[in-house]
């Protein structure tokens, strides 16, 4: 029988959220079971608008959604229950990652809902009707997806016989954590990040040409103002700053120009929280709109403003996701075994 090394023997000073390797499996199982049962009851009562896909002319996914969540509940339970050791670890990991991918894909528009909520105080569908139910569905899927990502990582590390938290082999008695020395991402990841930053250039250039009065740039004869172009440049500047922070050493420790924060470690959640909120939406939106534009279904094709927007958001979103994975790996604290502490 395979052993399941865990971090339940960690020192009391390590807070519960830092002992994430021990609780996401149970939490993910419970959350998926509750959500799956709610969807099952909704499907039995005739609900056919899960995630608003029927409004887009797509097939109903209420029944498949309930099936995926209920199956995922069993998969997550297998990562923490004794009977789970009889299931091939590869099958459990594949199931957990599959549920995570489907949940996050279903939640990918939640960022647009949040932006609309902040700007207007409400959430609507593409017809302008109130759409709070779909917003809640996407928000719940985002939480479930994050829990299943943590579950899949913890299970993979347990199966490999390493610590679920830090991914390294050490004794179960843990006295604390040690953070890595600040360093840049590997060259390949940095090049991807730089390409993601440059992906905005065609989009900004076309917007500037439209503001300058060049005809045929914007759809419907719309002409953006220079203030709109300037706002776009400022937004892109913030996006580039976030992406570069994930691949440069100053993203791990505050640089000198941050004054009183200089030299202090950057909390991991500070860049990663907005990144994982932005990356799935931008990557899937840019990729999906690019495919539709290339097929001639959406906008003015790949070589117009629509294609430039798809390149900008899709390229930046995927670069952001790749840089975030690298950042998480590079900033992951290392557990310090108790015997490694000098008396």
Give the span between the Cα atoms of 306 and 111, in whole angstroms: 20
pLDDT tens column, 81-121:
999 889 998 999 999 999 999 998 888 788 788 878 877 88
Domain boundary among 139, 169, 199: 169
Number of domains making up the chain:
2
Is the domain of 53 the same as that of 193? no
Is the domain of 154 the same as that of 200? no
Judged against a pLDDT cut of 90, whether residue 74 lies above it is answered with yes
**Containing H/E element for 38?**
helix 24-44
Is the domain of 145 the same as that of 236? no
Is the domain of 200 the same as that of 316? yes
Lowest mean pLDDT of 4-13, 153-162, 309-318, 322-331, name the range: 4-13
Q: Is residue 5 part of a domain?
A: no
Is the domain of 214 the same as that of 318? yes
Q: Is residue 238 part of a domain?
A: yes
Residue 334, beta-bridge partner list: 178
Q: Is residue 43 part of a domain?
A: yes
Domain boundary among 141, 169, 197: 169
Crossing angle for the helix pair 305-331 and 269-294, to the nearest 10 degrees = 150
Q: Is residue 325 part of a domain?
A: yes
pLDDT tens column, 284-305:
888 887 877 777 666 666 677 8
Query: Can you give the residue range of the structural domain that contains 95?
Result: 16-169
Is the domain of 161 the same as that of 193? no
DSSP3 helix / strand / coil % (the chain, rounded to 5): 65, 5, 30
Domain boundary among 116, 137, 169: 169
Judged against a pLDDT cut of 50, whether residue 262 lies above it is answered with yes
Give the span between the Cα atoms of 242 and 112, in whole angstroms: 19
Judged against a pLDDT cut of 70, whether residue 18 lies above it is answered with no
Per the listing, tokens 């065609």 go with 202
The average pLDDT across 225-244 equals: 91
């Amino acid at each position: 029988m395979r052993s399941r090394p865990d971090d339940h023997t960690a020192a009391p000073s390590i807070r519960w959220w830092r002992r994430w390797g021990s609780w996401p499996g149970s939490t993910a199982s419970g959350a998926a079971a509750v959500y799956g049962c709610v969807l099952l009851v909704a499907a039995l009562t005739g609900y056919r608008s899960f995630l608003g896909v029927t409004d887009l002319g797509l097939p109903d996914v209420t029944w498949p959604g309930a099936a995926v969540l209920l199956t995922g509940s069993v998969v997550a339970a297998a990562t923490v229950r004794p009977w789970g050791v009889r299931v091939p670890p590869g099958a459990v990991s594949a199931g957990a990652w599959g549920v995570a991918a489907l949940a996050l894909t279903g939640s990918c528009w939640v960022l647009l809902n949040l932006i609309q909520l902040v700007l207007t105080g409400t959430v609507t569908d593409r017809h302008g009707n109130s759409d709070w139910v779909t917003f809640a569905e996407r928000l719940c899927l985002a939480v479930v997806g994050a829990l299943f990502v943590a579950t899949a990582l913890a299970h993979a590390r347990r199966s490999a016989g390493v610590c679920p938290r830090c991914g390294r082999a050490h004794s179960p008695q843990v006295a604390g954590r040690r953070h890595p020395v600040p360093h840049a991402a590997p060259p390949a990841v940095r090049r991807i990040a730089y390409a993601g930053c440059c992906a905005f250039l065609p989009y900004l250039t076309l917007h500037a040409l439209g503001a300058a009065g060049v005809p045929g740039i914007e759809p419907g004869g719309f002409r953006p103002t220079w203030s709109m172009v300037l706002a776009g440049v400022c937004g892109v500047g913030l996006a580039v700053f976030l992406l570069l922070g994930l691949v440069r050493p100053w993203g791990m420790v505050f640089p000198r120009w941050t004054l009183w924060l200089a030299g202090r470690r950057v909390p991991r959640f500070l860049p990663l929280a907005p990144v994982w909120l932005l990356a799935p939406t931008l990557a899937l939106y840019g990729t999906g709109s690019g495919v539709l534009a290339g097929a001639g279904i959406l906008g003015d094709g790949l070589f117009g403003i629509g294609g430039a927007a798809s390149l900008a958001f899709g390229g930046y979103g995927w670069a952001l996701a790749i840089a975030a994975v690298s950042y998480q790996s590079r900033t992951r604290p290392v557990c310090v075994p108790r015997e490694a502490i000098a008396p």
